[in-house]
Amino acid sequence: MAKVRTRTLLIAGALLALVLAGVVSFYASQSPDGLEKVAADKGIDAKVEDHALADAPLADYSVKGVDNERFSGGLAGVLGVGATLLVGTGVFWVVKRRGGEGAQPAADGS
């Protein structure tokens, strides 16, 4: 197999993430997850509180005001992937720059 360029791998990975969140997510199981199920069965959730941001525009992975369930969930997924990619890349870019300046990681204190 030929060597895949880093840029190609990154673009392919990002496209895959967009498709999974934007399209495939519609077919995900709607059942409660492991913790939700156990919590409901055993009574752990007796004092559960509503999420403070339950009315946020993207709450529960659907876009407020978009009625079509498939489109609403897919759009929320795509926006989430985009936002996570931006924030994550930003954070790691800054961390990498700070690491790069030192060159000798052991040199910085503590």
Residues 48 and 9: their CA atoms lie apart, in Å, by: 42
* CA atoms in the 13 A half-sphere facing the CB of 62: 13
- In angstroms and rounded to an integer, the radius of gyration of the C-alpha atoms of the chain is 20
Tokens 């993430």 locate to 17
Binding residues for another protein restricted to 1-20, rule: CB under 8 A: 1-4, 6, 9-10, 13-14, 16-18, 20
Smallest distance, another protein to C-beta of residue 68, A: 17
For another protein, the binding residues (CB under 8 A) are 1-4, 6, 9-10, 13-14, 16-18, 20-21, 24-25, 28-35, 37-39, 41-54, 56, 58-61, 76-77, 80-93, 95-96, 98-100, 102, 105
